[in-house]
Amino acid sequence: MAAGAPRIFVSHLAGVPVFDPNGDQVGRVRDLVAMLRVGRRPPRLLGMVVEVLSRRRVFVPMTRITGVESGQVITTGVVNMRRFEQRPTERLVLGELLDRRVRLVESDEEVTVLDVAIQQLPARRDWEIDKVFVRRGKGGALRRKGETLTVEWSAVTGFSLEEEGQGAENLVATFERLRPADLANVLHHLSPKRRAEVAAALDDDRLADVLEELPEDDQIEILGKLKEERAADVLEAMDPDDAADLLSELPEEDKERLLTLMRPDDAADVRRLLAYEDRTAGGLMTTEPIVLRPDATVADALARVRQQDLSPALAAQVYVCRPPDETPTGKYLGMVHFQRLLRDPPFTLVSSLVDSDLPPLSPGTALPAVTSYLAAYNMVAAPVVDEGGSLLGAVTVDDVLDHLLPEDWRETEFHDEGQGHGG
């Protein structure tokens, strides 16, 4: 849904059909899932509970939803069919927020919630509940006679979490704005029991981001305390190279069981990475660089670079290949740097801009040679190409640094930072 899209009241979404990009119906919306925040900040909308044709209720993240209108919802077509299970930090909008008695902040008057409105934030994929439709007057039959009004979320009290409290729900909400590395710092210093409670309360994408920043022992401990299906979901949400690194530390039986539970496409990427030696270009690379066909334009390339989920290193350049355009690709033709994309007209074909002089890395290239390559050519990422000329992935500078630093560098950093705050 484009930025600046109209506000939608959630009661209009109840029961509406959900379609994939081909126009086939996936199911119907049964509820929306939100996460409350500390104070009066509007809740973040996490996704929708969709009843699929088999009558199973599944969770569809908002990142998988491309269109929301009062008459229909459009998804990317990728739906995890595991049964929806509500987590401690989650609230069902239709089931738990509507019909509640709350108070107007200004007058302390008690009102009844009839509906809430959602809106997508400008220039972002995030959604929030920003308005509350309420009725004055007491509950029961008298409620029908009360005046109705629409107010900002911050104008009512009775929803949001209190600042005090020791539940995982409050802790997750309090640290919502922390970067993954900083939240990993918090988790690292918690007791194992508390760490497991908070990890269980985080949504899959957030937990995946945090796991990537944790020391290896913490990663294994947290993954081991999750239900196996949830662990597979989190591994799917991780970057394939980070998921492969984590799985490589598990016993063979556990690793194979989790790979079997993952979606086939995600598991295939991870299995390919596990086949390479750890400290080689193949073992370090990600399988998800930006790949474009020769007939793509500069405008196409810039649209891909703008994707919010991309790391700065992966967004620094695009790789031009003949079809197929998913790794392993067809013939690798070369790369185009982001700065070059900014200098040429939008209609220019990327095939006319490729830098084909820079030799790619082979998957067996050892870590010291990868490091020298990045340093010599002032690169933040480098292509990895097999003997047949197919692009396999890209090695980014952050993954190289992870392997160059001492094995306990994350724990040392956490320890020092903890001391700096009074320890």
Question: Of residues 364 and 36, which shows the higher confidence score?
Answer: 364
**pLDDT over 80 at 146, yes or no:** no
> Does residue 346 or residue 176 have the better pLDDT?
346
Please give the torsion angle defined by the CA atoms of residues 240, 242, 244 and 245, in that order, rounded to the nearest 10 degrees.
170
pLDDT confidence of 320, banded at 50, 70, 90? very high
Cα–Cα distances (Å) from 266 to 63, 81, 242, 305, 399, in that order, read 17, 15, 12, 22, 19
- Smallest Cα–Cα separation from 70: which of 3, 150, 10? 10
pLDDT at position 410: 58
Record the pTM: 0.67
pLDDT bin (cut points 50, 70, 90) of residue 421 is very low
pLDDT at 249: 92
Label residue 85 by pLDDT band (50, 70, 90): confident
pLDDT of residue 409: 61
pLDDT in tens, 113-138: 999 999 988 756 789 999 999 998 76
In this prediction, residue 140 carries a pLDDT of 46
Asked whether the predicted pLDDT for residue 70 surpasses 90, the reply is no
Question: Which percentage of the chain shows pLDDT scores above 70?
Answer: 88
What would the pLDDT profile of 227-277 be if each residue is shown by its tens digit? 999 999 999 999 999 999 999 999 999 999 999 999 998 999 999 999 999
* Radius of gyration of the chain from its Cα atoms, rounded to whole angstroms: 24
**Are residues 366 and 377 in contact, defined by beta-carbon separation less than 8 angstroms?**
no
H or E stretch including 43?
none
